[in-house]
Every structure is written in structure tokens, then in C-alpha cells.
């Protein structure tokens, strides 16, 4: 079967593509010369050469906080307009049998909570969350109109070699010796091994649906710190008491965006944010990879 893969040059793509190539005839769309189609789908409609059986749409904008209206708009250009342009290209050559979209748990808009399910309201108000939610809504309508099976996954924090985002920042902080643990780092976070996305594609292509995806075991920050320190051959970082971190956060509130910690960041670090994968396991028969046993940082 022929699979069209957008975003194949990023962190997710680099880790997932070899696994997909063992199952499918993979063609890629991206921004790099090595992609089969080198095109910015946020700005133009790709000129596809053939019809594909499955589309895996992983291209997206994430991991940054916009400082200007122009930076905010980029999220909608990439995540929403890029999706619309991809669908327009597919209409010209023939729609696929199935479309798999990589969304995000950010659509729920939760800074903390436990075992959040797919039934939770989509309250995310960041440009990232809103653009992904609008892309989900567009695809639901488009796939219904064209009789395409739609699978949407909402991954949690994604673990794998050299990860971006918060997990990457944790690794960098521990490696550089500029990382402090707060109140024993007992908050729990849902994490997904990146290779699980490849395992999910054939299941989603057959059944469709909307699913949270993460490991069944919700690791604490301290457990993640331990995994990283062991691989870097470093001692566990110093843990400071909550009252001290709170004082630092209040100072950070006054200093603005350049501060390493503020009250909002402190809340995110010290409160658990976990998601339920029960629906994906039950309906798809999917078994997640154990993060604590398989997370390799590089």
C-alpha cells in the first residue's frame, strides 16, 4: 500500500519513517531536498503525481510561544491552512482510503488533571491548540464528504532520541547542570514512545476514530529525571522545597518572559497532567510501549 507522509523530516518523522517503510511504500512531503515532494504546504497546494492509499499528516507547528501576532498566525498557516492545502491536493489526484492526523492533547486546554478522556471539552486557547482543533474539525467534515476513514490521535509528551519541547529542555538542563527538581518532582505526566505512532497507523487506517495515546504508566518527573541521569551518568538533580520555588516564581512574575520560572510554570511542574489511553487500547487493540524501559535519550 502507498502511504503519503507529511512532516517526515522532523523529530517524529525521523523516528517513525523507518518503521513505516517496513509496512508501506512511503512517499514524503516536507521542506528538505531529500523529501519526495519539497513543498511548504502552509503556502501552496502540492502537485501530487499519484493517488495514495493512506495519508499520515504529521507536519505541524509546535513547541514555541508566539510573541507577536505574526508568530501567532504561523500556527494557523501551518496547522490549519497546511491541512486544507493537503486535502485540496488529494482531491485532484484521488482521495485516500484513510487519513491519519497527528493532533495533540493541548486541544483540551488543561494545565493539570488526571486521566483526562476524549470526552473532555476542547478548551485550548493557545494558537497551537486552536489551530489543531480547527484542523480536526475541518478533517472530520472533509473525510465525511469524501468517504475517507479518519483517524485522529492526540499524543501526550513524546519520548524518543533527542526529543523537542519540555522533555528536550529537561535533558538539556540535566546535561548542563542547570536543572533543579522541585518538591521531590512527584507530579505525574503522560508520555508516549515515538515509535508507537507507527504501530498505530494500520490500526487507525482500518477503524478510524479519535484517541488519546500515551503509556499506561504515568511517570513522575522524578522517574523521568532518573532515566535521563542514568543515561548521562549524572547524579540526580538537587530538589528544592516548594516554598523556595514559590518565592523564585513570584520574582519571575515581576521579571517577565525572560525569567526561568514563574507562577504558571511552577503550577505546570508541580501538578500532575495525565490522560487516559483506555479508549485506544479497547477499540484499537493497541498496546503502548513501556516508556520507563524503552526511553533512550539519543
For each of the domains in the chain, give its residue range(s) and CATH number, in order of start: 2-161+190-218+276-282 (3.40.50.720)
Cα–Cα distance, 159 to 162 (Å, whole number): 8
Neighbours of 85 (CB within 10 A): 19
Instruction: Report residue 283 as a C-alpha cell.
Output: 477499540
Burial of 1 (0-12, 13-18, 19+ CB in 10 A): middle
Which residue in the block uniquely carries the three cell numbers 503509556? Answer: 215
Q: What is the pLDDT along the chain (298 residues), one digit of tens a residue?
A: 999 999 998 899 999 999 999 999 999 999 999 999 999 999 999 999 999 999 999 999 987 888 899 999 999 999 999 999 999 999 999 999 999 999 999 999 999 999 999 999 999 999 999 999 999 999 999 999 999 999 999 999 999 999 988 889 899 999 999 888 998 899 999 999 999 999 999 999 999 999 999 999 999 999 999 999 999 999 999 899 999 989 988 998 888 766 778 887 788 888 999 999 999 999 999 999 999 999 999 8
Q: What is the pLDDT of residue 180?
A: 85
What pairing do the DSSP bridges indicate for beta strands 25-30 and 2-6? parallel
- Neighbouring residues of 145: CB distance < 8 A, sequence distance ≥ 6: none
As given in the structure block, the three cell numbers for residue 126 are: 493557545
Nine-digit cell at 36? Answer: 519526495
Q: What is the pLDDT of residue 255?
A: 83
The pTM (predicted TM-score) of the whole model is 0.93
End-to-end CA distance of the chain: 31
- The CA–CA distances, whole Å, from 171 to 157, 195, 219, 247 equal 14, 19, 16, 25
Return the C-alpha torsion angle 140, 145, 148, 150, nearest 10.
10
Closest by Cα among 53, 69, 44 to 2:
53
What is the distance between the alpha carbons of residues 98 and 55, in angstroms, rounded to a whole number? 6
Q: What are phi and psi of 202, to 5 degrees?
A: -65, -30
Taking a C-beta distance cutoff of 8 angstroms, is the pair 104, 132 a contact? yes
- Pairing between strand 191-193 and 157-159? parallel
Q: What is the pLDDT of residue 257?
A: 67
Amino acid at each position: 500500500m502507498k502511504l503519503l507522509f507529511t512532516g517526515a523530516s522532523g523529530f517524529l518523522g525521523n523516528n517513525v519513517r523507518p518503521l513505516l517503510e517496513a509496512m508501506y511504500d512511503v512517499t514524503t512531503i516536507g521542506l528538505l531536498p531529500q523529501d519526495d515532494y519539497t513543498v511548504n504546504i502552509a503556502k501552496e497546494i502540492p502537485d501530487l503525481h499519484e493517488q495514495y492509499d493512506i495519508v499520515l499528516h504529521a507536519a505541524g507547528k509546535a513547541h514555541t510561544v508566539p510573541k507577536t501576532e505574526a508568530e501567532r498566525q504561523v500556527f494557523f498557516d501551518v496547522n490549519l491552512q497546511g491541512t486544507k492545502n493537503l486535502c485540496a491536493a488529494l482531491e485532484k489526484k484521488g482521495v485516500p482510503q484513510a487519513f491519519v492526523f497527528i493532533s495533540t492533547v493541548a486541544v483540551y486546554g488543561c494545565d493539570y488533571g488526571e486521566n483526562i478522556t476524549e470526552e473532555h471539552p476542547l478548551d485550548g486557547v493557545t494558537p497551537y491548540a486552536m489551530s489543531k482543533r480547527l484542523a480536526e474539525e475541518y478533517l472530520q467534515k472533509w473525510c465525511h464528504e469524501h468517504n475517507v476513514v479518519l483517524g485522529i490521535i492526540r499524543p501526550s509528551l513524546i519520548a524518543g532520541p533527542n526529543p523537542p519541547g519540555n522533555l528536550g529542555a529537561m535533558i538539556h538542563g540535566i546535561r548542563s547542570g542547570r536543572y533543579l527538581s522541585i518538591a521531590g518532582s512527584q507530579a505525574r505526566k503522560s508520555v508516549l514512545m515515538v515509535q508507537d505512532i507507527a504501530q498505530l497507523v494500520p490500526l487507525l487506517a482500518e477503524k478510524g476514530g479519535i484517541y488519546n495515546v500515551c503509556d499506561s504508566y504515568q511517570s513522575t518527573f522524578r522517574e523521568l529525571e532518573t532515566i535521563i541521569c542514568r543515561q548521562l551518568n549524572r547524579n540526580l538533580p538537587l530538589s528544592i522545597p516548594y516554598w523556595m520555588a514559590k518565592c523564585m516564581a513570584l520574582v519571575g512574575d515581576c521579571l517577565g518572559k525572560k525569567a526561568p520560572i514563574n507562577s504558571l510554570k511552577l503550577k505546570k511542574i508541580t501538578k500532575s497532567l495525565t490522560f487516559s489511553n483506555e479508549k485506544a487500547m479497547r477499540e484499537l487493540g493497541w498496546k503502548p510501549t513501556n516508556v520507563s524501559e524503552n526511553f533512550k535519550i539519543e
